[in-house]
Structure 1
Amino acid sequence: MQKQYFLIFLICLTAGLASAQKTLKGTVSENGTANKLTNVFIRDNSSKQTAITDDKGNFEIKTEPGHIIIFDSPGYTSDTLYVVDLKPKNIQLEVKSIALREVSVTSSRQGQAFDPHKEYPEVYEKSKLYVLSPTTWFGKENRDARKMKKYFRTEAEQRHVDEVFTRTYVGSIVPLKGQDLDDFMTMYRPSYEFIKGNDKQSLAVYINDSYKKYQDLPPEKRHIAKLPPSKDTLSLK
């Protein structure tokens, strides 16, 4: 009898280790800073598994070597990780430039727009709350699903800002070009709430007012500090 219990214990232990070996853990931060990024959406392109970073930038996702992991966060350039091993990873995301955001918006218009309801229906199903089901209220997967829903909403809002606050439109109002224009747009990017509650005329007034503030700044304050390139060679660009 003792041998049977011992065998059962070994089987459970082996199964547990096998499961643990298929979980990748790590942190996501902003490149060049110590800022840990919360609510970064993570997906395994091979298995369609999803995850999201917690309030300390930590994540864990079920995957295995040979899979490709995508890290997405509004305002940052998406990063791609080819899983070589399951050692803890430190992913660093670059702040997305104005030009890259416009390329992203243009691509989504030309191709099929990202539809999270269609691509990740399980996220919306797990995010539902049922009075008689404590798991839907307190289960980690369910709580993460609700965080993912918020991520999808934020991404949609930021894409809307990108569609309105474009380099072409802002450049037609202020006499800036190239990197100067990108820095100005980054510094004075309007919120989604402002875009939603105002028309093009109000936006033009806002841009003009912002340009006056920009001109009042010392020349060295008119540019966004450039971050050093990441030394993390784990990601595929």
Structure 2
Amino acid sequence: MILKRYIILILLASGSLAGFGQLQVQVRGKVFDMTQQVPLVSVSVQSTGGTGTATDSLGRYTIYAKESDSIWFSYLGKGTPKYPIAAIPNQQNFEISLHVNVTELKTIMVKPRNYHLDSIANREEYAKVFNYKKPGLGIVHPNTQNAAVGVDLDQLVDVFNFKKNRRMANFRDRLMAEEKDKYIEHRFSRALVIRLTQLKGADLDTFMVRYKPDIVLVESATDYELQSYIKQCYDRYMKWKEVMGELRKQDN
């Protein structure tokens, strides 16, 4: 019995040691373009264990993964080889340059519109419409004990003013739909799509219409998830363009 317990303890100890070997480690660094001078924004960093992140405005990233995992980088649908974490010499400063040529333009300071302030101003301007509720019958309570309880005549008129009520309800619904569209445009912006896909002109216009997300996705997605969605749509768009090009060749 003592020998059996001793064997069980050894097995438990080995299992614990194996578990410690699977603890997550932190890998951080920067991603540059081919000149090794310009930081790349929104580069996808993923591990074979399923974790992922994206580089920030300075090209920096931090990812947590198991030491037995490998990580790789993806930009505009093009991935790098996988780098085993255990073989990275300095896991706290793993810098990499991608074969991307970034043309730097003169910096122009542009003050963007503030979506939240615009939304608040819109709500204040159309408060009567946003707060509109279908009228109902109100009861007039008399000031004297002998007076009879009656119906508010002004509200009674409003109840039967069907045309006005319908117009106000339609206006309210239209304003709320416009507010949702503005929020979608605020997050799914042309600037963000250009930065992630480099699309321009007619291609950009087609992409913005074809892959515009719905309000549910935009409200629930994190920045990383929204950027991943745009990159996946870009891959689908390029494949669609390739198929359409082949069809045009066959027609000719």
TM-score past 0.5 threshold: no
Indicate the TM-score class for this superposition, using the shorter chain for normalisation.
Answer: 0.3 to 0.5
> Normalised by the size of structure 2, how large is the TM-score?
0.39
Larger radius of gyration: 2
